[in-house]
Amino acid sequence: MRIITGRFRGTKLMTPDGNTTRPTADRTREALFSMLGHGDYRALVKDGHVADICAGSGSVGLEALSRGAAHATFFEMDRHALAALKANITKCRAEKETTVLPIDARKAGKPKQPCDLIFIDPPYHKGLAEQCLESVLNSGWMARDGLVIVQTHPEEPFECPASLEVVDERKYGAARLYFLREPADK
């Protein structure tokens, strides 16, 4: 696994020991950031604040920093994933522009600053996507006009909360990505 482009381009990332985490595949990340690099989404990454929820190795948040995000906050509580995440931040020399929260995303707490882009990738088939999403929304993590991307297994059910709408949905291999925003008429 590596950073695809930007200032950390080619940096090989450490993956957590064991099988408790499932890193977002390079192909999926490349497709995701290709979408985010164009149109309405572009401003969310460039100079934006990003939250990588259930971060694992931190590949999504570090990719966002590599492509110009101002700050990334990582939520991760698995000790093996946390060790890999911290090693990857150090490898990218990104300590000053990152915050690591070793907490359960279902108990997010208040942010220092709302995030323009939130990526939620909880363990598959455990019903955690909605719980993590509800927690970060209720705690004020999403900036006005922000975007939340939820990754699930393609066959896993996902219910979008009434306060948001699905503006796009994509399937890449063993991942389905839901792009969520506040309704335009809100």
The third-level CATH classification (topology) of the domain covering 29-181 is Rossmann fold (3.40.50)
Token digits of residue 32: 């995701």
User: How confident is the model at residue 125, as a pLDDT?
Assistant: 87
User: How confident is the model at residue 167, as a pLDDT?
Assistant: 93
pLDDT digits (tens, 9 = 90+) for 31-56: 888 888 876 777 788 889 999 999 99
User: How confident is the model at residue 26, as a pLDDT?
Assistant: 66
Per DSSP, the chain holds a count of helices (H) and strands (E) of: 5, 7
Prediction pTM value: 0.91
* Bridge partner list, 149: 119, 179
The residue extents of the domains of the chain are 29-181
Nearest to 5 by CA among 34, 25, 28, 47: 34
Q: ∠ CA(50), CA(69), CA(59), 5° rounding?
A: 65
Positions in the chain short of pLDDT 70: 18-26, 39, 186
User: How confident is the model at residue 54, as a pLDDT?
Assistant: 93
The dihedral through the CA atoms of 57, 60, 65, 67 has a sign that is: positive
Write the DSSP assignment of 50-64 as a string of letters. EEEET-TT-HHHHHH
Q: Fill in the DSSP letter of residue 41.
A: G
Write the DSSP assignment of 126-168 as a string of letters. SSHHHHHHHHHHHTT-EEEEEEEEEEE-TTS-----TT-EEEE
Token digits of residue 120: 């939620």
Q: Fill in the DSSP letter of residue 39.
A: G
